[in-house]
C-alpha cells in the first residue's frame, strides 16, 4: 500500500524515535551478567520504552509443589516507601496475574477493574487502570511475565504490544545467559563449600564441632536464617543437636520432632522435604516453626546409613528455594554426610592406633621392665639373706633391704602405670562410681578376670573431688599389688560412703599368696568426707 503524500514522513515522525529506544533497550537488557541486575534492567527498560508509570517482572518457578507461582517480583515506578506500604505483593494465585500464569498469552486491558478476572489490589497498592502483560520465554520455558500499567497519554496500543514482545523475546535470551552464569556461580560456591567442609572434618575436629561446621557452612551458602543438624533419638524421633544462626540460636538446640510425624517418616526414609511456609505447614510440629518460612530438610546419608538431617529454614516472607537451590543443597548434604562418615572412620582408626600403642607399651613394661625388676629384687633379697647368715655387718644387710624395698615400690608404680595404660584415653566417666568401675575394668585386662565391685551409700553425692582422686590412686596401688601376688583368682573392691560416719572407706581384698606364703590380703583406706 502506497502511503499518501506526507504519510510516510508523518508515519516516520511517529515510529523513528521508537527504533533507537528499542535498540537501546535490547542492548541494555543483555549488558549485565548477574541475573538480578538483568531482571531489573528489563523492567526498567520496558517501562521507559512504553512510557508507562509502573512496571513489574514476575519470576515463576514451575517446579514448585503447588504449581507455578510468582516467586520474585521486580518493580519499576514504585518508591521504597510506596513498596513498603504494601503488606504483600501479588503472587499470581489469582487475578489477572494468575490468568497470565495459566494462559501465557499477551493481555491488553483498558481498565483492570472491568475485567472479570481482576481480584483487586492489596491495601496500600497505588491505583492502576490500563494494563499490558506479555510472557517471557527462555527457550521453550515460561520464565515469568512482564507487566506494565498506567501508560501516560492514553491506553496501551498495538505498537506498545509489539515493542514489548520484541523486548520480551530479547529478554528471554539475556535471562537464559544470565541464569546459566548465575547457576554456574552458585554451583561453584556450593562445591567450594562442600570441599571446605570435607577438609575441615578430616582435620580431626570433635564430633560436635563437625556437625556445627556443616550447619554453619550450609546456612551461609543457602542464605538461610538458620542451619541446623538433627539426629535420630532412641525414641524414634529427631533432635536438633547443632544450630547456626545470624544471632543467638536461642532454644533451637534440643528441639525434638516427635515420632510419627509426617515429615519425620519422609526423612527417615531418606527423602528430602521442602516446605513452602514452616509456620503454616501442618506437617511441621515443633514450637520453633513459627519464626521460619521456606525451608529445606535434607537427609544426611551415605551408603544407606542415615546420620541425620540438615535443615535450612529462611525467615517468614523470605525468598522461596528454587529448583537449583534444592539440587545444589541436596548434593552438598550428600557430600557432607560422606565427609562425616569418613571423619568418624578416621577418628576410630586414630583411636584404635592409640589403644594399640598403649597396649604395646603396657606389654613391654610388663614383659621386660617389670620382669627384670622383679628378678633383680629376688637376687638382692637372696643376697640379703645370705649376708645375714654369713654374719656380714648389719649396715650391708640394711642397705640391701632398702634396695629391695625401693625395687618393690618401683615395681608397684610401674604396674599401676600399666593399669592406667590399659584404660581408654578419652570419654572418661564423669561420676566417681563410673571412675572406680573404669579402674577395675582396666585391671581386668591384665588380671584375666573382672574384680567384683560393691558400693555402699551415695558415693557420687558424698565423695568430694579431692578425696576421690586420693581414693582412686589408692585403688590403683592396691590392684597393682594384688596383681603382683601369685595365684590370684579373685579380687573384691568395696567403697563405703556413710554420711552418718562422716568418712569413706575403700577395701580391696584378694586371694593371692604373699611372699611369706600367706593366703589372702586385705587393704583398707579411709578418709573423712
Angle of helix 394-421 versus helix 371-389 axis, rounded to 10: 160
- Residue-wise pLDDT for 183-214, tens only, equals 888 899 898 888 888 887 777 666 667 788 88
359 part of a folded domain: no
Residue 112 and residue 45 share a domain? yes
Residue 166 and residue 24 share a domain? yes
Where helices occur in 223-298 by DSSP H, the ranges are: 262-268
What integer pLDDT is reported at residue 244 of this predicted model?
87
What integer pLDDT is reported at residue 269 of this predicted model?
80
What integer pLDDT is reported at residue 339 of this predicted model?
81
End position of a domain, from candidates 159, 184, 209: 184
**Residue range 372-390: mean pLDDT, rounded:** 72
- Residue-wise pLDDT for 212-245, tens only, equals 888 888 999 998 988 988 888 888 888 888 888 8
Q: How many domains, the chain?
A: 3
Domain that holds residue 306: 187-342
Strand order in the sheet with 292-302: 256-257, 238-245, 226-232, 305-315, 292-302, 273-275
pLDDT of residue 133 exceeding 80: yes
Nearest in space to 39 (alpha carbons), one of 69, 63, 62, 72: 72
In this structure, what C-alpha cell is assigned to residue 158? 498495538
Residue 246 and residue 175 share a domain? no
Q: What whole-number distance in Å separates Cα of residue 423 and Cα of residue 443? A: 8
Residue 212 and residue 152 share a domain? no
Rg (CA), the chain: 40
Residue 515 and residue 478 share a domain? yes
What integer pLDDT is reported at residue 17 of this predicted model?
45
Q: How confident is the model at residue 350 (pLDDT cuts 50, 70, 90)?
A: low
Percent of the chain with pLDDT over 90: 3
Total Cβ atoms within 10 A of residue 267 = 25
pLDDT of residue 13 exceeding 60: no
Residue 160 and residue 45 share a domain? yes
**Residue range 364-392: mean pLDDT, rounded:** 70
Q: DSSP for 16-62?
A: TTHHHHHHHHHHHHTS--SHHHHHHHHHHHHHHHTTEEEEEEEEE-T
408 part of a folded domain: no
**Residue range 471-491: mean pLDDT, rounded:** 85
**Residue range 162-175: mean pLDDT, rounded:** 81
Helix (H) / strand (E) containing 145 = strand 141-151
Q: What whole-number distance in Å separates Cα of residue 473 and Cα of residue 478? A: 9
**Residue range 352-357: mean pLDDT, rounded:** 70
What integer pLDDT is reported at residue 6 of this predicted model?
39
**Residue range 474-482: mean pLDDT, rounded:** 85
**Residue range 147-159: mean pLDDT, rounded:** 87
Mean pLDDT computed over every residue of the chain: 78
pLDDT of residue 284 exceeding 60: yes
- Residue-wise pLDDT for 424-467, tens only, equals 555 556 678 888 888 888 788 778 888 888 888 778 888 888 88
Judged by average pLDDT, the poorest of 38-42, 112-116, 225-229, 405-409 is 405-409
391 part of a folded domain: no
What integer pLDDT is reported at residue 29 of this predicted model?
60
Residue 191 and residue 75 share a domain? no
Give residue for cell 627384670: 372
Q: What whole-number distance in Å separates Cα of residue 29 and Cα of residue 33? A: 10
**Residue range 266-285: mean pLDDT, rounded:** 84
Q: What whole-number distance in Å separates Cα of residue 61 and Cα of residue 312? A: 19
- Residue-wise pLDDT for 67-110, tens only, equals 466 777 888 888 888 777 776 666 656 667 777 777 788 888 88
What integer pLDDT is reported at residue 421 of this predicted model?
62
174 part of a folded domain: yes
Q: What whole-number distance in Å separates Cα of residue 519 and Cα of residue 529? A: 33
Q: What whole-number distance in Å separates Cα of residue 445 and Cα of residue 415? A: 13
229 part of a folded domain: yes
SS3 247: coil
pLDDT of residue 23 exceeding 70: no
End position of a domain, from candidates 142, 157, 184: 184
Residue 200 and residue 254 share a domain? yes
In this structure, what C-alpha cell is assigned to residue 358? 598403649
418 part of a folded domain: no
> For residue 86, which phi and psi values (nearest 5 degrees)?
-90, 115
276 part of a folded domain: yes
- 56 and 46 Cβ atoms separated by less than 8 Å: no
- 50 and 163 Cβ atoms separated by less than 8 Å: yes
Q: What whole-number distance in Å separates Cα of residue 251 and Cα of residue 435? A: 33
Residue 141 and residue 104 share a domain? yes
What integer pLDDT is reported at residue 4 of this predicted model?
38
Q: What whole-number distance in Å separates Cα of residue 282 and Cα of residue 498? A: 56
Residue 254 and residue 289 share a domain? yes
What integer pLDDT is reported at residue 3 of this predicted model?
41
Q: What whole-number distance in Å separates Cα of residue 91 and Cα of residue 79? A: 20
Residue 324 and residue 298 share a domain? yes
- Residue-wise pLDDT for 483-511, tens only, equals 878 888 889 999 888 766 788 889 999 98
What integer pLDDT is reported at residue 1 of this predicted model?
37
pLDDT of residue 116 exceeding 80: no
- 18 and 27 Cβ atoms separated by less than 8 Å: no
What integer pLDDT is reported at residue 12 of this predicted model?
39
What integer pLDDT is reported at residue 312 of this predicted model?
92
366 part of a folded domain: no
Q: What whole-number distance in Å separates Cα of residue 390 and Cα of residue 106? A: 125
**Domain CATH for 124:** 3.30.450.40
Q: What whole-number distance in Å separates Cα of residue 233 and Cα of residue 83? A: 46
Please enumerate in sequence order all residues whose Cβ is within 8 A of that of 12, keeping only pairs 6 or more positions apart, or say none.
Answer: none
Q: What whole-number distance in Å separates Cα of residue 40 and Cα of residue 26? A: 13
Angle of helix 432-447 versus helix 465-484 axis, rounded to 10: 10
End position of a domain, from candidates 308, 324, 342: 342
Tell me the residue length of the chain.
529
Residue 176 and residue 129 share a domain? yes
Judged by average pLDDT, the poorest of 170-179, 371-380, 461-470 is 371-380
**Domain CATH for 490:** 3.30.565.10
What integer pLDDT is reported at residue 383 of this predicted model?
76
Q: What whole-number distance in Å separates Cα of residue 186 and Cα of residue 179? A: 10
Amino acid at each position: 500500500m502506497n502511503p499518501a503524500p506526507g504519510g510516510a514522513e508523518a508515519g516516520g515522525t511517529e515510529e523513528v524515535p521508537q527504533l533507537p529506544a528499542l535498540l537501546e533497550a535490547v542492548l541494555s537488557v543483555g549488558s549485565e551478567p548477574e541475573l538480578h541486575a538483568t531482571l531489573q534492567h528489563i523492567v526498567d527498560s520496558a517501562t521507559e520504552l512504553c512510557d508507562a508509570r509502573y512496571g513489574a517482572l514476575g519470576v515463576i518457578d514451575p517446579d514448585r509443589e503447588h504449581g507455578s507461582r510468582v516467586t520474585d517480583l521486580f518493580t519499576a515506578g514504585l518508591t521504597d516507601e510506596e513498596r513498603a506500604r504494601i503488606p504483600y505483593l501479588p503472587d499470581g494465585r489469582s487475578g489477572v496475574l494468575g490468568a497470565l500464569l495459566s494462559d501465557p498469552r499477551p493481555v491488553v486491558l483498558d481498565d483492570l477493574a472491568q475485567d472479570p478476572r481482576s481480584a483487586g489490589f492489596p491495601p496500600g497498592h497505588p491505583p492502576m487502570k490500563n494494563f499490558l502483560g506479555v510472557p517471557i520465554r527462555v527457550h521453550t520455558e515460561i520464565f515469568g511475565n512482564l507487566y506494565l500499567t498506567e501508560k501516560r497519554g492514553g491506553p496501551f496500543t498495538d505498537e506498545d504490544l509489539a515493542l514489548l514482545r520484541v523486548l520480551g523475546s530479547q529478554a528471554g535470551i539475556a535471562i537464559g545467559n544470565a541464569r546459566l552464569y548465575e547457576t554456574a556461580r552458585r554451583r561453584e560456591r556450593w562445591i567450594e563449600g562442600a570441599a571446605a567442609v570435607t577438609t575441615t572434618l578430616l582435620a580431626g575436629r570433635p564430633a560436635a564441632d563437625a556437625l556445627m561446621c556443616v550447619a554453619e557452612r550450609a546456612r551461609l551458602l543457602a542464605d538461610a536464617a538458620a542451619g541446623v543438624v538433627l539426629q535420630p533419638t532412641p525414641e524414634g524421633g529427631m533432635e536438633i543437636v547443632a544450630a547456626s544462626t545470624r544471632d543467638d540460636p536461642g532454644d533451637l538446640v534440643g528441639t525434638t520432632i516427635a515420632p510419627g510425624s509426617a515429615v519425620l517418616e519422609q526423612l527417615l526414609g531418606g527423602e528430602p522435604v521442602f516446605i513452602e511456609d514452616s509456620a503454616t505447614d501442618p506437617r511441621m510440629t515443633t514450637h520453633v516453626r513459627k519464626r521460619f518460612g521456606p525451608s529445606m530438610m535434607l537427609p544426611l546419608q551415605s551408603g544407606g546409613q542415615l546420620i541425620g538431617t540438615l535443615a535450612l529454614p529462611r525467615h517468614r516472607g523470605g525468598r522461596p528455594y528454587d529448583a537449583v537451590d534444592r539440587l545444589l543443597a541436596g548434593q552438598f548434604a550428600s557430600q557432607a554426610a560422606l565427609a562425616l562418615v569418613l571423619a568418624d572412620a578416621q577418628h576410630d582408626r586414630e583411636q584404635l592406633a592409640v589403644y594399640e600403642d598403649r597396649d604395646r607399651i603396657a606389654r613391654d613394661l610388663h614383659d621386660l621392665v617389670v620382669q627384670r625388676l622383679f628378678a633383680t629384687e629376688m637376687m638382692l633379697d637372696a643376697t640379703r639373706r645370705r649376708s645375714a647368715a654369713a654374719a656380714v655387718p648389719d649396715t650391708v644387710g640394711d642397705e640391701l633391704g632398702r634396695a629391695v624395698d625401693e625395687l618393690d615400690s618401683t615395681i608397684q608404680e610401674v604396674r599401676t602405670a600399666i593399669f592406667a595404660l590399659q584404660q581408654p584415653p578419652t570419654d572418661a566417666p564423669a561420676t566417681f562410681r563410673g571412675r572406680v568401675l573404669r579402674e577395675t575394668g582396666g585391671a581386668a585386662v591384665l588380671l584375666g578376670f573382672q574384680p567384683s565391685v560393691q558400693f555402699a551409700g551415695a558415693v557420687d553425692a558424698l565423695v568430694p573431688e579431692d578425696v576421690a582422686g586420693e581414693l582412686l590412686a589408692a585403688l590403683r596401688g592396691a590392684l597393682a599389688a594384688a596383681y603382683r601376688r601369685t595365684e590370684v583368682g579373685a579380687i573384691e573392691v568395696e567403697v563405703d560412703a556413710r554420711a552418718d560416719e562422716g568418712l569413706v572407706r575403700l577395701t580391696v581384698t584378694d586371694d593371692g599368696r604373699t611372699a611369706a606364703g600367706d593366703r589372702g590380703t586385705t587393704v583398707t583406706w579411709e578418709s573423712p568426707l
